[in-house]
């Protein structure tokens, strides 16, 4: 399993992290997603078939691109 933290400058509230968590959890291979409003980060644990590129593409698609 892989664990990565992504910096998301657009995070400003609990709704933001909730949206990100909900959208990423729907993807195959995502094990957990935890948003941190203060740090403006999202930590994702995942395994195949998921990969970093798919996570980054999804974040961009839902208007929360990683910096």
**Tens of each residue's pLDDT in the chain, 67 residues:** 999 999 999 999 999 999 999 999 999 999 999 999 999 999 999 999 999 999 999 999 999 999 9
11 close to 35: Cβ distance less than 8 angstroms: yes
Query: What are the two backbone dihedrals, phi and then psi, of residue 59, each rounded to the nearest 5 degrees?
Result: -60, -45
Q: How much is the pLDDT for 58?
A: 98
Q: Is 67 exposed, middle or buried (0-12, 13-18, 19+ CB in 10 A)?
A: exposed
Q: How much is the pLDDT for 2?
A: 97
Does pTM surpass 0.85? yes
């Amino acid at each position: 399993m892989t664990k990565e933290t992504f910096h998301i400058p657009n995070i400003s509230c609990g709704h933001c992290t909730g949206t990100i968590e909900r959208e990423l959890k729907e993807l195959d291979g995502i094990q957990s997603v935890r948003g941190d409003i203060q740090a403006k980060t999202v930590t994702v644990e995942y395994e195949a078939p998921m990969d970093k590129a798919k996570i980054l593409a999804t974040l961009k698609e839902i208007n929360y691109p990683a910096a």
